[in-house]
Amino acid sequence: MSAKDILTIDDFDLKGKTVLVRVDINTPMDPEGNILDDMRIKSHMPTLVDLHEAKVVLLAHQSRPGKKDFTTMKAHAARMSQYLGREVKYVDDIFGTCAQNSISAMNNGDVILLENVRFYSEESLERSAAEHAQSHLVKKLFPYIDIFLNDAFAVSHRAHLSILGFTEILPTGAGRVMEKEILSLDRGIKGGARPCVFVLGGAKVDDSLKVAENVLTSGGADKVLFTGVVANIMLAASGIDIGKTNMDFIESQGYTEQIEKARNVLEKFSGKVSLPVDVALSDNGKRVEVQVEELPNGNLPIYDIGLETIVAFSKELKNAKTVVLNGPAGLSEMADFSLGTHEIIKAAINSEYSIAGGGHISAEIRNLGFEDNFSHLSTGGGACIDYLAGDMLPGVVALKEAAIKRKLTK
């Protein structure tokens, strides 16, 4: 799929129209309700700026039921107002009379943010677009809306009501965040400048193996470097005894069956996969580096890749034209074990085009102050890795189907 398969803001005459935009401004919040990281809020500013002649109704969620930060969107509206330079009015309602009256009273250029859509229990049900279109939420808001834009890439791997429900009955397109995500990730998996090197780390082993399989089979990647827990799985699959402590951890996470899948990747793509040659162990919090062949001699947990591996992987990245990072190389939140992740990040910015998946790796990049050095930082964690793995994201599929429908009816 590519951005050419979907409609964007540029395909609509938006002046004077009422535009419903599904955004993802789900943010970390402290117990007092203060926003701790507003990266996602800032990411939607280009969309809002380009809609300055429209009446903009924002639909969003914060956390989920049962979580301590499952709260209203009031703080989000205030923060959006600061960045936009004009009021984003918070409306304490999702689709009732208050929401309807607020939409009816809007003038061109107005922006309102409706209440947390997950306060409505049907939002999180996994259903088809046609089924969601029959919900109370869609039926109540539909008469007031002219166009629907999905700008919430990070939630578009979910077949949720606010992602799909309006796509069946309204002209539908993508906001700037969604458009940029698709264009950028496609450049990573469909081949931009070569060579293209992926670095897959973190603890989402099954997802990483799917991504590796996808990009190596399609020819999107020339090489995949493995770090993090997924590298431990790959080492075990290659015949390395990684020690009882590390095998016990793999078993505790339910990843034992992934070893066979990792073995298949190694056999199928021999020469296109690189594994650590040394690792950093934690000896009561102290960094101890050993060659992978020496692992059986101790019983310590692997917390990072070793210096020799860091040098070799960094060289690969510096020679690459396109780099895609997903997941940290180790326990980067611990100072003694952040070296691998930080050096990989520094090496990646030397490439012509650099992409980082959402979640932990993007947070590390921002913490290091390298956000502007990357060509693209994804706003989505699960959505990003699903897209890289070749999975069909329900929200993106709905955009494609809406574009086809519009072309057929013109």
- In degrees, rounded to 5, the angle at the alpha carbon of residue 137 between the alpha carbons of residues 122 and 107 is 145
Q: 291 labelled as ligand-binding?
A: no
Determine whether the annotation assigns residue 361 to a binding site: yes
Q: By CB neighbour count within 10 A (0-12 exposed, 13-18 middle, 19+ buried), where does 200 fall?
A: buried
Q: Is 346 within 8 Å of 379 (Cβ atoms)?
A: no
Strand runs labelled E in 17-65: 18-22, 55-59
Return the sign of the alpha-carbon dihedral for residues 306, 311, 315, 318: positive
Do residues 56 and 113 make contact, with C-beta atoms less than 8 angstroms apart? no
Question: For residue 322, which amino acid is it?
Answer: T
Annotated ligand binding at 63? The verdict is yes
The CA distance from 364 to 375, in Å, is 15
Q: Is 359 annotated as a binding residue?
A: yes
Q: CB atoms < 10 A from the CB of 373, how many?
A: 14
Instruction: Report the amino acid identity of residue 356.
Output: A
Q: Is residue 62 a known part of a binding site?
A: yes
Is there a binding annotation on residue 176? Answer: no
Q: Annotation-wise, does 358 bind a ligand? A: yes
C-alpha Rg value of the chain to the nearest Å: 23
Q: Other C-beta atoms within 10 Å of 185: how many?
A: 23
Strand partners, 57: 20, 112
Ligand-binding annotation for 64, yes or no, is: yes
Q: Is 194 assigned a ligand-binding role in the annotation?
A: no
All residues at 6 or more sequence positions from 372 whose CB lies less than 8 Å from its CB, including other chains: none
- List alpha helices for 198-306, DSSP H: 205-218, 228-237, 244-252, 258-268
Residue 26 known to bind ligand: yes
Place of tokens 């496609």: 186
CA 73 to chain centre: 21
Is residue 163 part of an annotated ligand binding site? no
Query: 360: annotated binding-site residue?
Result: yes
Binding residues for ATP are 333, 358-361
What residues are designated binding site for substrate? 24-26, 40, 61-64, 118, 158
Q: Residues marked as binding?
A: 24-26, 40, 61-64, 118, 158, 333, 358-361
Pick out the residues of the known binding site for (2R)-3-phosphoglycerate.
Answer: 40, 118, 158
